[in-house]
């Protein structure tokens, strides 16, 4: 049996004090009894290291709002209120809760919990309108995190054969296409901002440790710098084989072709003559797996069909940062959850689904989104912003306006950043194992396209209200 894949997480404190959801104030009449430190399981309250007779200032960003300290304080001297800066984090999609949760996971490597419990809302757009099946949660033997039963998160990248043919001597006569095994359905995508060499270095180290892949825009020069600094590569602890160069047609001829021979996979932008570029890359290295990057938008299913019939092994479907279509003319843009299902079902109907690997990216903000994207039909996901959150990014967008970064991403130590990313992915993988275990599945590959393992809000509403408002619905449908 192969060695069990595991991710060793190491608590890695932040460089800057994170913005907490709550603010806690200790009144002047505190008697330093330490009751708050005893009841708080999140280590918000501690005694001063230099004087154990006195209480230190609360570590407010760790507070989960359970109110245990408030209830147990004999003098009622503690006050808790909403944080003033917390609500300003992120935007309507990348909410303060998402950012704060990713900070916590990058620091601790643990699955996040909330002392106050989840207080809704229980539905919304996109992934929030989808719930995963937990019908097998009563079976503790399915628990893959604690080692009672092995649950595989391995996925294959590349074309899968529907059948293998043998000759009369038992020798394989089928052409076996190249494939890559990735130990978890997550790779690193190009970054929307924060493109500093030290940030790339942290991503490359983390990808190498996790044995996953990192897509690097060949135009940004990071790969070239790594090639020049061969003496530093061992110190940095990353390998070229974990990089996926992203190449556009104009940059192909100026790109160092040695990288194509060193890398197992190359990604190309979908353009009018993309198949010609594919042939050029295959001529340089026939064993290289080609991924074509296609934006979600109008006729994306038709584009994927065309590329699949043309022999493309991998198609990377990407949405914008908020998980919406990039190129779409309809008034209401579809979300990544629905677009992924549409493409997957189209390929299934054509009986060519296993002829291609689908990578999906854009709006993948939490661990549950990975599982939900796979249920929708993706083979694996590519993430971007959560990696920057691991480096304490606040999504203030200052860098996009040439303003100073409040957490100074350009000064991040690459090894510190790599460990934070490893912690984040470790926590995400544990949550994926929890989901698979609760579904009674032993491998993530069985989750692909299993929409029966999920509940969709739109289906519930249709089944419930179409019967109640049958006449109105029928009238609207007929115009």
Based on the fold, state whether residues 66 and 165 are members of the same structural domain.
no
Q: Are strands 243-247 and 265-269 parallel, antiparallel or unpaired?
A: parallel
Check whether 478 has a pLDDT greater than 70. no
Place of tokens 């304490």: 392
The CATH number given to whatever domain includes residue 209 is 3.20.20.70
Tokens read off for 455: 């509940």
**More confident of the two residues 443 and 136:** 443
Check whether 307 has a pLDDT greater than 50. yes
Based on the fold, state whether residues 78 and 160 are members of the same structural domain.
no
Based on the fold, state whether residues 268 and 415 are members of the same structural domain.
yes
Report the distance separating Cα 275 and Cα 310, nearest Å: 8
CA angle 120, 122, 126 (to 5 degrees): 125
Report the distance separating Cα 285 and Cα 111, nearest Å: 42
pLDDT number for residue 254? 67
pLDDT band at residue 230 under the 50/70/90 scheme? very low
Exposure string for 35-55, b = 16+ CB within 10 A, e = fewer: bbbeebebebbbeeeeeeeeb
Q: Does a structural domain hold residue 12?
A: no
Report the distance separating Cα 405 and Cα 239, nearest Å: 29
Check whether 161 has a pLDDT greater than 50. yes
Based on the fold, state whether residues 389 and 250 are members of the same structural domain.
yes
Report the distance separating Cα 99 and Cα 103, nearest Å: 6
Give the relative orientation of helices 414-439 and 367-375 as an angle to the nearest 10 degrees: 50
Report the distance separating Cα 411 and Cα 139, nearest Å: 47
Q: Does a structural domain hold residue 11?
A: no
Based on the fold, state whether residues 337 and 243 are members of the same structural domain.
yes
Q: Does a structural domain hold residue 125?
A: no
Report the distance separating Cα 253 and Cα 251, nearest Å: 6
- Say if residues 267 and 293 touch (Cβ distance below 8 Å): yes
pLDDT number for residue 146? 65
pLDDT number for residue 439? 87
Rounded to 5 degrees, φ, ψ at 157 are -105, 125
Range of the domain at 172: 155-459
Report the distance separating Cα 344 and Cα 352, nearest Å: 10
pLDDT number for residue 2? 59
Instruction: State the average pLDDT over residues 147-164.
Output: 85
Q: Does a structural domain hold residue 111?
A: no
Based on the fold, state whether residues 354 and 230 are members of the same structural domain.
yes
pLDDT band at residue 321 under the 50/70/90 scheme? very high
CA angle 251, 256, 259 (to 5 degrees): 110
Based on the fold, state whether residues 281 and 190 are members of the same structural domain.
yes
Report the distance separating Cα 197 and Cα 132, nearest Å: 38
The CATH number given to whatever domain includes residue 58 is 3.30.70.20
- Say if residues 21 and 63 touch (Cβ distance below 8 Å): yes
* DSSP states of 65-76: ---HHHHH-TT-
Q: Count of domains in the chain? A: 2
Tokens read off for 393: 């990014």
Which of 84, 118, 134 is the C-terminal boundary of a domain? 84
**More confident of the two residues 210 and 221:** 210
Check whether 98 has a pLDDT greater than 80. yes
pLDDT number for residue 474? 43
Exposure string for 354-370, b = 16+ CB within 10 A, e = fewer: ebbbbbbbbbbbbbbbb
Q: Does a structural domain hold residue 364?
A: yes
Report the distance separating Cα 440 and Cα 438, nearest Å: 6
* pLDDT tens-digit map of 177-211: 889 999 999 999 999 998 899 999 999 999 999 99
Check whether 244 has a pLDDT greater than 80. yes
Q: Highest-confidence range of 33-37, 159-163, 328-332, by mean pLDDT? A: 33-37
> Minimal CA–CA distance to 244: which of 273, 207, 192?
207
Based on the fold, state whether residues 199 and 297 are members of the same structural domain.
yes
Mean residue pLDDT across the chain = 87
């Amino acid at each position: 049996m192969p060695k069990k894949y595991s991710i060793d997480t190491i608590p890695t404190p932040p460089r800057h004090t994170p913005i907490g959801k709550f603010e806690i104030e200790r009144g002047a009449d505190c008697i330093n009894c330490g009751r708050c430190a005893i009841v708080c399981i999140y280590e918000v309250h501690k005694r001063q290291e230099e004087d154990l007779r006195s209480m230190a200032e609360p570590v407010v960003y760790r507070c989960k709002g359970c109110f245990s300290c408030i209830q147990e304080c004999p003098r009622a001297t503690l006050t808790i209120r909403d944080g003033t800066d917390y609500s300003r984090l992120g935007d309507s999609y990348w909410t303060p809760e998402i950012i704060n949760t990713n900070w916590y996971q990058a620091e601790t490597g643990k699955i996040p919990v909330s002392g106050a419990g989840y207080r809704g809302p229980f539905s919304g757009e996109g992934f929030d309108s989808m719930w995963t099946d937990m019908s097998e949660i009563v079976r503790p033997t399915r628990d893959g995190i604690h080692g009672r039963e092995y649950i595989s998160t391995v996925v294959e990248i590349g074309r899968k054969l529907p059948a293998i043919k043998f000759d009369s001597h038992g020798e394989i006569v089928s052409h076996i296409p190249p494939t890559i095994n990735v130990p978890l359905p997550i790779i690193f995508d190009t970054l929307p901002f924060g493109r500093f060499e030290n940030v790339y270095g942290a991503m490359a180290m983390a990808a190498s440790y996790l044995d996953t892949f990192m897509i690097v825009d060949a135009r940004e020069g990071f790969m070239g710098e790594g090639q020049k600094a061969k003496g530093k590569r061992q110190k940095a602890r990353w390998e070229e084989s974990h990089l996926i160069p992203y190449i556009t047609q104009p940059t192909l001829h100026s790109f160092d072709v040695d990288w194509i021979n060193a890398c197992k996979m190359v990604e190309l932008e979908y353009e009018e003559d993309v198949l010609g570029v594919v042939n050029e890359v295959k001529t340089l290295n026939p064993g290289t797996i080609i991924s074509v990057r296609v934006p979600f938008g109008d006729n994306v299913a038709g584009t994927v069909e065309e590329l699949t019939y043309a022999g493309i092994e991998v198609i990377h479907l990407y949405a914008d940062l908020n998980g919406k279509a990039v190129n779409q003319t309809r008034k209401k843009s579809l979300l990544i959850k629905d677009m992924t299902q549409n493409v997957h079902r189209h390929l299934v109907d054509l009986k060519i689904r296993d002829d291609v690997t689908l990578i999906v990216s854009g709006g993948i903000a939490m661990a549950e989104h990975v599982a939900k994207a796979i249920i929708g039909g993706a083979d694996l996901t590519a993430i971007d912003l959560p990696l920057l959150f691991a480096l304490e990014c606040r999504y203030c967008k200052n860098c996009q306006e040439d303003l100073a970064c409040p957490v100074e991403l350009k000064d991040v130590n690459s090894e510190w950043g790599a460990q934070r990313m490893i912690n984040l992915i470790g926590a995400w993988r544990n949550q994926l194992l929890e989901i698979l275990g609760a579904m009674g599945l032993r491998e993530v590959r069985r989750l692909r396209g299993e929409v029966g393992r999920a509940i969709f809000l739109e289906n519930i509403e249709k089944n419930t209200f179409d019967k109640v408002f049958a006449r109105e619905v029928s009238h609207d449908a007929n115009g």
